[in-house]
Copies of this chain bind each other. A is one copy, B any other.
């Protein structure tokens, strides 16, 4: 298969701003062009917009705002992993030869209609994501004898790391006690266990190896892609303390990249809620079942930013359509040694884990130098 690289990126701060989706898309795209004046925007022959926003025709609109006339232009939606779905689609456009250079721009508003999956009646009246998170948490705690105090290390670590991310929503640090004393939303979920809806945008450009080499663009290569949808309904998950779609996507991505999990130097993990981080780490093979939370604790205690260096969804905020793209930017920056105070040592290979709707679908990407 053709080699395809990330040759440019741009991002906005994640905030509670009341901003039009078109403005938000434009802001991260402008940031991308400002960071990369060498890129000839006329070479972009496809534009993909990643969002759950209800506005239509956003890709032609963004194209017109940045004065380009692409061949391919459409929006992509898959709830919380719309961003990585868009990156994979862009990859396929280039690998197939239908495009050479694709702009992927993701954005969301704090009041996104993607926060609640109305269709999933298996949740009864409890359609807010805190309810699936709550069941996952209860199940995980029970199965592996894990306490609320154990789990609280996830937001403590991720808020700490977010403090080093200038675009993160959070700039506060919290103690275990702060987490435990934050507002109780369900029996097992507190306010600080949650990633928060926000307004934000993130954009990347993907290009074929030929374009990247010809123009001497600094490139981070996408070497592995894995995706899996196991269902759309939360209660169809075969386990409530592991993530089947994540396991299958992770395996496929590593196989494609010809890597094992021990090759991964840094990873973005979809910590929509505290419990998601240890479960995903286990399902990806970073640790044994029930041991993910100890891995998080160790990383926190040794000040190791390996997992969710930008602060994860909990620390950065979660603007659905932008999240997978922001995760991909973080891993790109880590590989390019441009992550500032968040920089992990000796990064050659990174992993992005982005999922939707109680892990009923997952995308895993492997990125390399």
A-side residues, CB < 8 A to B, are 1, 22, 47, 52, 54-57, 59-61, 63-64, 69-79, 82, 85, 88-89, 91-98, 113-114, 117-119, 225-233, 236, 252, 356-357, 360-361
Minimum CB–CB distance from A333 to chain B (whole Å) comes to 26
Q: Which residue of B lies closest to A93 (CB)?
A: B92
Q: Which residue of B lies closest to A116 (CB)?
A: B56
- Which residue in B73, B94, B361 is a CB contact (below 8 Å) of A60? B361
- Which residue in B1, B73, B74, B76 is a CB contact (below 8 Å) of A96? B1
Minimum CB–CB distance from A39 to chain B (whole Å) comes to 19
Instruction: Decide: A119 and B55 in contact? CB cutoff 8 A.
Output: yes
**In the bound complex, how far is the Cα of B53 from the Cα of A118, in angstroms?**
13
The 8 A-B pairs with the shortest beta carbon distances in the complex, nearest first, are A95-B96, A60-B232, A74-B78, A92-B96, A73-B229, A61-B232, A92-B92, A74-B85
- Which residue in B60, B64, B228, B233 is a CB contact (below 8 Å) of A356? B60
Instruction: Decide: B77 and A75 in contact? CB cutoff 8 A.
Output: yes
Known: A52-B56, A54-B54, A63-B229. 20 other contacts (CB 8 A): A54-B113, A55-B118, A56-B114, A57-B119, A57-B356, A60-B361, A70-B228, A71-B229, A72-B85, A72-B88, A72-B227, A73-B227, A74-B78, A76-B76, A92-B92, A92-B93, A92-B96, A92-B98, A95-B96, A95-B98
Instruction: Decide: B56 and A74 in contact? CB cutoff 8 A.
Output: no
**In the bound complex, how far is the Cα of B47 from the Cα of A230, in angstroms?**
12
**In the bound complex, how far is the Cα of B61 from the Cα of A226, in angstroms?**
20
Could you say which residues of chain B place their CB within 8 Å of the CB of A361? 60, 73
Instruction: Decide: A232 and B57 in contact? CB cutoff 8 A.
Output: yes
Could you say which residues of chain B place their CB within 8 Å of the CB of A61? 119, 232
Instruction: Decide: A88 and B78 in contact? CB cutoff 8 A.
Output: no
Chain A facing B: main interface SS:
mixed
Minimum CB–CB distance from A330 to chain B (whole Å) comes to 22
16 pairs, A vs B, C-beta closer than 8 Å: A52-B56, A55-B118, A55-B119, A56-B113, A56-B118, A57-B79, A57-B232, A60-B78, A60-B229, A63-B229, A74-B76, A76-B76, A89-B92, A91-B96, A92-B95, A95-B95
**In the bound complex, how far is the Cα of B230 from the Cα of A72, in angstroms?**
11
Could you say which residues of chain B place their CB within 8 Å of the CB of A60? 78, 229, 231-232, 356-357, 360-361
**In the bound complex, how far is the Cα of B60 from the Cα of A232, in angstroms?**
5
Q: Which residue of B lies closest to A68 (CB)?
A: B229
Q: Which residue of B lies closest to A54 (CB)?
A: B54
**In the bound complex, how far is the Cα of B226 from the Cα of A231, in angstroms?**
34
Minimum CB–CB distance from A70 to chain B (whole Å) comes to 5
Q: Counting chain B CB atoms within 10 Å of each CB, which of A57, A71, A79, A98 scores highest?
A: A57
Q: Are A357 and B96 also in contact (CB < 8 A) when A72-B85, A76-B74, A232-B63 are?
A: no
Could you say which residues of chain B place their CB within 8 Å of the CB of A98? 88, 91-92, 95, 225
Could you say which residues of chain B place their CB within 8 Å of the CB of A356? 57, 60
Q: Which residue of B lies closest to A89 (CB)?
A: B89
**In the bound complex, how far is the Cα of B165 from the Cα of A233, in angstroms?**
37
Minimum CB–CB distance from A110 to chain B (whole Å) comes to 16
**In the bound complex, how far is the Cα of B357 from the Cα of A114, in angstroms?**
25
**In the bound complex, how far is the Cα of B59 from the Cα of A119, in angstroms?**
12
Could you say which residues of chain B place their CB within 8 Å of the CB of A96? 1, 91-96
**In the bound complex, how far is the Cα of B96 from the Cα of A135, in angstroms?**
39
**In the bound complex, how far is the Cα of B368 from the Cα of A15, in angstroms?**
51
Could you say which residues of chain B place their CB within 8 Å of the CB of A47? 229
